[in-house]
Amino acid sequence: MPKAVDPIQKRSEFVAASWDVIAADGLKAATLRRVAAEAGCTTGALTHYYTDRRSLLVDALRAAHYQAGARMMDAAKGTSSHGARLQAVLLEALPLDAARMREWRVWLAFWAESMTDAELAKENARRYAEWRQLLEDLIRPLMRTRAEAKRELAYVVALVDGLGLRLARHVSNDRMLGDEQRECAATLVRHLARFEAA
């Protein structure tokens, strides 16, 4: 019988290596050789688990969404009111620390690529629909009608995307980043203040 290796574990290592490379040097730097080296092996091992470069990237994108989704579920725990829960989830979405900043840089790279790659676009659209659904469920109890909830959903999704984009677009290691992170968080909190009363 063969060597005992957990393929799921192995794949997640390659995915994490992809994230590191993409966050550091962009999607174009995520070559098979580079990702394999980052994971501590050669392309032979990589191609053993991923037939294509694209399949690796699609998996990396999906895993990034899942990881973020899990974090948001955690953030929702431990909140009492509906308003507090929405705020906790949305704040968790912003790139306010190094880990989430890495995630946003990966997303931004994939969003650009999705414009010209149907497979990545489909994967991205699926995960985005889930994210919108999660938010809608959080918003619904705060609004009178379903239509109002839809409107507020479009509002906060754009707000979070715009704030996250602003932070992610920064050059890495910028000294002013901390200030901007606080300002973005404050902008989001201020918008959500209207729900505190409810």
Partner DNA sequence: TGAGTGAAATAACACCGGTTATATAACTGC
Partner DNA sequence: GCAGTTATATAACCGGTGTTATTTCACTCA
Residues that bind DNA (CB under 7 A): 1-5, 7, 10, 29-34, 36, 41-45, 47-49, 51-54
d(Cα 22, Cα 90) in Å, to the nearest integer? 24
CA 85 to chain centre: 19
Residue 32 touches which of a second copy, DNA, none (Cβ within 5-8 Å per kind): DNA
Cβ 24 to DNA shortest distance, Å: 14
Between residues 5 and 193, which has the closer beta carbon with respect to a second copy?
A: 193
Q: Is 17 in the site for a second copy (CB under 8 A)?
A: no
Among 127, 163, 192, 195, binds a second copy (CB under 8 A): 163
Half-sphere exposure of 27 (CA within 13 A, CB side): 21
Residue 160 neighbours by CB distance under 10 Å: 20
Cβ proximity of 102 and 19 under 8 Å: yes
C-alpha distances (whole Å) from 110 to each of 33, 99, 114, 174 are 19, 17, 6, 23
Residue 70 touches which of DNA, a second copy, none (Cβ within 5-8 Å per kind): none
Residue 26 touches which of DNA, a second copy, none (Cβ within 5-8 Å per kind): a second copy
Cβ 124 to DNA shortest distance, Å: 20
Cβ 52 to a second copy shortest distance, Å: 17
Exposure b/e, 20-49, CB count within 10 A at least 16 = b: bbbbeeebeebebebbbebbebeeebbeeb
User: Where does the chain show beta strands of DSSP type E?
Assistant: none
Cβ 57 to a second copy shortest distance, Å: 13
The 8-class DSSP code of residue 115 comes to T
Among 5, 70, 154, 193, binds a second copy (CB under 8 A): 154
Q: Give the residues lining the site for a second copy (CB under 8 A).
A: 24-29, 105, 108-109, 111-116, 118, 121, 124-125, 151, 154-155, 157-163, 165-166, 168-169, 171-172, 183-184, 187, 190-191
